[in-house]
Amino acid sequence: MNEHLSILVTGASGNTGSALVTSLLAQGAKVRAASRSGQPDTQDNLLATSVRFDWFDPATYHQTLQGIERMYLVPPPGVLDPLPVMMPFLTGARQAGVRRVVLLSATVIQRGDTGLGQVHDALPDLFPEWAVLRPSWFMQNFVGQHPHAYSIREQGILRSATGNGRVGFINAEDIARTAAHILLSETPPNRDLLLTGPEAISYDEVAQIMSSVRTNSVRHQHVSVDELQQLHIDSGLPPEFAEMLAQADHLIAGGMEDRVTNEVEAVTGTPPTSFKDFVTQYCS
């Protein structure tokens, strides 16, 4: 059955998109991998049809959408108000015959909130089948291209304004597994899903776990929200985005992310990855 489904994956070279392409191909789906480069990101994903796609270039929309039945959407990165950017593409997708959409959002963004929450709110009126994934913070932030990962690798320091706040960090591959099940299932959830890892841990515990696995130790340095915002700006992030990330740490300190759900296991049948197992895989 899956070989007859044509599925579009935007952000196909990113954390969730790349893993999702791999998962869908392994289950026999016909995948169109969309990215700004238009090139496959790994040898494993060569069987996907690669296409160049840019949210800011409507000329790329037609080729990206032609023949697609279901799609996974990663919003344009670093855009605080993505609705004006995404709506022309979403409208075009509906006109092209797309029936099911899975949108990547975040735990802190609820339906109707300014920005991506408005895209969430628009989906049910545009598509008969939909889901919004609202994952917690990625475990990949500590090993990939995030400012946290750079400071850990270069200085052995993890800086945050999270205080003693705890987060149910999630492996991006678990998000991708969840998305794959939803895209391939016969029945869509038509709701949002709050996705977390199996436990909520503090940034002090993140540093301790990483130190237990890595050759070099990691120290969590507590900073203020203003200091963190300036650090993000100094790392090259736009001021508005730097402010958003710093304020997110403030919310974590207040307990907003101190929660765990069973959505990943409920959808996929397999529990999500623990942070220790993740670090052992990527850092040992």
The pLDDT value given to residue 236: 85
The pLDDT value given to residue 48: 87
Q: Based on the number of CB atoms within 10 Å of its own CB, is 145 exposed (0-12), middle (13-18) or buried (19 or more)?
A: exposed
* 283/87: higher pLDDT: 87
pTM confidence score: 0.93
* Residue 264 counted as domain residue: no
Mean pLDDT across the chain: 93
Per 3-state DSSP, the chain is made up of helix, strand and coil in percentages (nearest 5) of 45, 15, 40
pLDDT digits (tens, 9 = 90+) for 144-170: 888 889 999 999 999 999 999 999 999
Which band of pLDDT confidence, cut at 50, 70 and 90, is reported for residue 104?
very high
The pLDDT value given to residue 3: 61
Q: At what angle do helices 15-26 and 172-184 cross, to 10 degrees?
A: 50
Q: What is the 3-state secondary structure (H, E, C) of 208-232?
A: HHHHHHCCCCCEEEECCHHHHHHHH
Q: Does residue 47 sit in the same domain as residue 63?
A: yes
Q: Does residue 150 sit in the same domain as residue 274?
A: yes
CATH assignment of the domain containing 49: 3.40.50.720
Phi–psi pair at 77, nearest 5 degrees: -70, 145
pLDDT digits (tens, 9 = 90+) for 18-65: 999 999 999 999 999 999 887 766 555 667 899 999 999 999 999 999
Q: What residues make up the domain containing 103?
A: 2-134
Round to whole Å and give the CA distance between 37 and 54.
Answer: 9
Does pLDDT of 2 surpass 70? no
CATH assignment of the domain containing 151: 3.90.25.10
The DSSP bridge partners found for residue 108 are none
The token pair at 204 is: 């002090």
Q: Does residue 145 sit in the same domain as residue 283?
A: yes
Angle at 105 between CA 102 and CA 100, to 5 degrees: 10
Q: Does residue 220 sit in the same domain as residue 142?
A: yes
